[in-house]
Amino acid sequence: MWYSRTSFNRSLCFLIILGWFGTLAHAAKPNFVIFFADDLAYGDLSSYGHPTINTPHIDGLARDGLQLTSFYSGAAVCSPARAALLTGRYPLHAGMPRNTGPGSDVHMDRDQIILPQILRKAGYASMAVGKWHLGHQDASLLPVGRGFDRFYGLPYSNDMIKPWVQTDLPMHLYDDADPVEEVGHEQDHLTVRYTETAVSFIEEQADSNTPFLLYLAYSMPHLPVHAAPERQGTSTAGRYGDVIETIDWSVGQVLEMLDQAGIADNTLVVFTSDNGPWHNLPKRMLAAGNERWHSGNAGPLKGAKGSTHEGGFRVPGLFRFPGVIAAGSRSPEMASTIDLFPTLAHLAKVEIPDDHALDGHNLLPFLQGKEPSPRTEFLYSQGSLFEAVRHGPWKLRIGGREPEIELYHLDRDPSEMYNVAERYPERVAELRDALKARAAHFGAGLRELAE
């Protein structure tokens, strides 16, 4: 077909404008970086009160964004916590109430929809770096089989080899679905290699102007702890401090790449952890150089990893998104890793299927300081049991080996030192009814009270 010069120029201008708007709309989609540490406790960062560990890069997220002091992981152990974050559901609802490992047939249900699958609909590239721990039995259960475009890391925890776990199966570092290198006791460079991979991924996506999700799930400070050689012996807090400060260095490298690529202002950065410190570790872990003090500090909180006390579930929660989240913000209101799925989906402007129920909430208006947190309830699970529920400042717990009714006002008593159940029987009855109702809804069990 023949065009006049005028009509050609008009058509060309229209195509240029259309392309410009398309590029603008694509570039306007925010990027997402989620740092997910393993066993890093509530009090392990200097911004959360640690007196001797120095974490300037992570603390910078608090300075430039929002620090939450009632932020909860979806579980107090590894696999369930990861399932909760990536599905926006409580672990039992996500089909992953317990851990998996070498020789285990446990994996996250194949029909679960996870975050990268939703974001892919909006044109996002995605990469999982670090620890997976949601299924490894075949390629379809690894990150690249579950919606991530790329994967570089370990299939489960870094201790799942002898002498700590009695298995003859080797542990491999994976590149996508391919085991490329056996990993043993020498893990000093693991965090460094994760970091280099994450930085390269960001650079590639920035060069191609593609919005992305980077899920950087560190293998540490889960035991055995290892730090980069140049950072060994540098922390006042000893070997454990070296490990946390190596993670802080890693966060700094990723943030620097965001700055260099010119995309820091269009990137939501989240730093958190999967659960509290492994204080109650089994004797099997005290081998090959591990010590009991190679674990974290829950600060003022009672309990540890695996516990439904606050020290098991409450973790650091730092959010930075320039121009969206006010710098230097701090809030004691509740939020959870379970809320990340709906929040990121909303920011990416992608619809969640109507028949796919989530347990999380869109946090954006809260993060912007426009509304209170939509999370007014949190459920504390222990495998397939619900042991506690929090409503506002009140927490009811019926857990432990010899369960009794415990009631705490967490705003006044975050350390759970003072059980006030006898003083407030009506509050106990209200929360106990709520716990029973929520357990019935999710098909969870409850602890039987001791006689």
Residue of 78, 107, 309, 361 with catalytic role: 78
Integer-rounded Cα radius of gyration of the chain = 23
Q: Where are the alpha helices (DSSP H) in 261-391?
A: 310-313, 340-347, 364-367
Q: Where are the alpha helices (DSSP H) in 261-384?
A: 310-313, 340-347, 364-367
Task: Please confirm, yes or no, whether 13 is among the known catalytic residues.
Answer: no
CA angle 181, 41, 129 (to 5 degrees): 30
Residue of 133, 294, 309, 361 with catalytic role: 133
Tokens 């570790």 correspond to what residue?
281
Task: Please confirm, yes or no, whether 133 is among the known catalytic residues.
Answer: yes
DSSP string, 161-211: STTTS---SPEEEEETTEEEEEE-S--TTHHHHHHHHHHHHHHHHHHTT--
> Token digits for 428?
């106990």
Pairing of strands 317-320, 66-72: antiparallel
Tokens 């120095």 correspond to what residue?
54
Return phi, psi of residue 420, to 5°: -110, 25
Q: Which residues are catalytic?
A: 78, 133
